[in-house]
Chain A
């Protein structure tokens, strides 16, 4: 199946730093979702985006739906140790019945 290109693959940052990651696709999506997954758990929904150009925040997290509808960005400000995990983007196909996932960004926060 299709997987979205997500970068960077991994990040090692100091506590307090800001983080940026992005997701790109060759296809247009109408919905972008961002998830965080911790070991042994299912992905947890962080932010949902429904409109090109939309910028949405959830606490220290901010995500944007790219104007081209082929990309999305997630920023985490002032990182803390509990931000550690793997972050996945997901795009909803135009048929509305398939979500395609990115390859994931593994985040490590060094106290």
Chain B
């Protein structure tokens, strides 16, 4: 089955700086890679996703890059703001009805 590794487990950055979270996956058949943000006590919410036929995708301050050869993908958040503080999860799936395999999460802390 799929295995997703996520690093770092905790990331503290100054407000206004950039944050990068990295994930690797094991199953070359995986073709969909979403990123979810989870605030304390809330449900995971999709912030950006990328499919295997695309190398990069950007949405305002958030971008995701995918390297299929190396089987890794990264989340980039620029100009971080206090409301970006949360736990971020990467995930991968090969489609079908297999569900998402999640990384273990990154606790992002934005220092004022």
A binds B: no
Which B residues lie at the A interface, using CB under 8 A? Answer: none
